[in-house]
Amino acid sequence: MTAPFEPAPIIVTALLGPADQAFFDGERSAHFPPERNHLAAHLTMFHHLPPSLAPELRQRLVAETRGHPMPRARLADVFSLGRGVAYRIDSEELAAIRARLAAAFAGLLTPQDAGGWRAHVTVQNKVEPAAAKALLTALRDGFRPRPVAIAGLAAYWYRGGPWEMLSRHMFSA
């Protein structure tokens, strides 16, 4: 494990509004294997940015959020991860922010981050396929799309365990 003062890979997420965070945390607590559930529910935008980008990333996240309204977003669907289940989030505005950041860091992205982006919140992962299929069926029953609040953007150091906050940037109300 990396020492706390040493740079580490950076994860970037969209921050959910309080009510939506509580909803997704509840879903994750109910369905994620407890021995693997070490994080709050999250909407990952980048999985692994180089630590050397920290200063520039912070500036870019400030520019994308300060004085800007929250991007419109909606909880659009429930989908299978094969061995898990996630909620799809649709937001053209959040996708545009991610595309600008990806373009700025294009040569430094991992294959996972350079590929297509599918905004989602995982509520179950690393379970048997039959269990994932059963949850998918249960969650789809009665599912209704609805708005989701994207309150801000955050960057975290990834040191092999729970994430360590690097910076947090809120959209205007």
- Judged against a pLDDT cut of 70, whether residue 2 lies above it is answered with no
Within-domain flag for 130: no
What is the pTM assigned to this prediction? Answer: 0.93
In a domain, 160, yes or no: yes
**Runs of H (alpha helix) within the chain:** 18-31, 54-65, 92-104, 111-114, 129-140
Residues 6 or more apart in contact with residue 21 via CB below 8 angstroms: 15, 40, 41
What pLDDT is stored for residue 5 in this prediction? 59
3-state secondary structure of 81: coil
CATH number for the domain harbouring residue 51: 3.90.1140.10
Total tally of structural domains belonging to the chain: 1
In a domain, 103, yes or no: yes
Residue 96: pLDDT over 50: yes
- What is the domain extent for residue 38? 10-77+86-123+148-170
* Nearest Cα to Cα of residue 18 among 62, 59, 70: 70
Asked if residue 138 belongs to a domain, the reply is: no
Is residue 131, in this structure, part of any structural domain at all? no
pLDDT in tens, 137-172: 999 998 999 999 999 999 999 988 889 999 999 999
Query: Does residue 165 lie in a domain region?
Result: yes
Q: Does residue 33 belong to any structural domain of this protein?
A: yes
Residue 3 has pLDDT above 70, yes or no: no
Decide if pLDDT at 111 tops 90: yes
